[in-house]
């Protein structure tokens, strides 16, 4: 980029990830959606993306932010990170309530409400009936939200059991990939 724009222009540029995410969103639309002038940032805002700093090339030279584990364990840390990406746009796009029945070392029941307000997440039963109930080991849950275990592979290998609306389960996978990019 410096050859085209001069020294320091790289700080103003985006990485290819932003363009790839925008291209995926556009190519996922119906075939008759043609002839529109689209801007990558606008397309991604429509899908619920709020943090565009992760696609900033200047950010590549800095170490990724680390989320310190809380005293309540890795699941609470994961839900702290989830709460950090919740907003009204994510709720509007998703419209689902998720329940996680976790077993193992850090087992328990957790929820993610992406149906009301600007969303909520935490320990316990959801206030509304869950549209999707996911059952898995707590360690696999942490790996999945950190991007170390793909939800599709977890489901296919039997590590993840899903009851309810599969379409909503797939929408949650998109949120997980966004969190993994933010280096959970």
Looking at the domain assignment, is residue 119 inside a domain? yes
CATH code for the domain of 91: 3.30.1050.10
Same domain, 101 and 36: no
Looking at the domain assignment, is residue 2 inside a domain? no
Percentage with pLDDT > 70 across the chain: 78
Whether residue 98 contacts residue 109, with contact meaning beta carbons closer than 8 Å, is answered with no
Same domain, 63 and 79: no
Q: Which helix (H) or strand (E) holds 134?
A: strand 132-137
pTM for the complete prediction? 0.60
**Which two three-digit tokens encode residue 149?**
């275990």
Domains in the chain, number: 2
Same domain, 175 and 93: yes
Q: What is the pLDDT of residues 69-108, one digit of tens each?
A: 444 588 998 888 888 888 888 889 899 999 999 999 999 9
pLDDT at 103: 94
Q: What is the pLDDT of residues 128-148, one digit of tens each?
A: 999 999 999 999 998 988 888
Same domain, 38 and 129: no
Domain around 59: 9-67
The answer on pLDDT for 65 being more than 50 is no
- Count Cβ atoms within 10 A of the Cβ of residue 34 and give its class: 0-12 exposed, 13-18 middle, 19 or more buried: exposed
pLDDT band at 64 (very low <50, low <70, confident <90, very high): very low
By three-state DSSP, how is residue 160 classified? strand
Annotate 156-174 with b (16+ C-beta within 10 A) or e (fewer).
eeebbebebeeebbebbeb
pLDDT at 56: 53
pLDDT at 82: 86
Q: What is the pLDDT of residues 153-171, one digit of tens each?
A: 999 999 999 999 999 998 8
Among 8-17, 18-27, 165-174, the range of highest mean pLDDT: 165-174
Contacts of 8 (CB under 8 A, 6+ apart): 2
Same domain, 23 and 87: no
């Amino acid at each position: 980029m410096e050859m085209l724009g001069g020294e320091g222009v790289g700080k103003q540029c985006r990485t290819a990830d932003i363009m790839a995410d925008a291209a995926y969103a556009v190519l996922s639309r119906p075939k008759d959606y043609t002839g529109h002038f689209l801007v990558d940032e606008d397309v991604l805002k429509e899908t619920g993306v709020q943090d565009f700093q992760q696609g900033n090339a200047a950010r590549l030279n800095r170490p990724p932010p680390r989320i310190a584990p809380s005293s309540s364990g890795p699941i609470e840390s994961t839900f702290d990170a989830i709460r950090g990406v919740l907003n009204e746009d994510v709720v509007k796009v998703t419209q689902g309530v998720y329940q996680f029945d976790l077993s193992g070392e850090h087992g328990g029941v957790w929820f993610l409400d992406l149906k009301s307000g600007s969303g909520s997440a935490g320990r316990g039963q959801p206030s509304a009936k869950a549209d999707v109930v996911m059952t898995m080991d707590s360690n696999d849950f942490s790996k999945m939200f950190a991007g170390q275990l793909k939800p599709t592979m977890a489901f296919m290998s039997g590590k993840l059991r899903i009851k309810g609306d599969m379409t909503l389960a797939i929408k949650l996978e998109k949120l997980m990939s966004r969190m993994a990019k933010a280096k959970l």
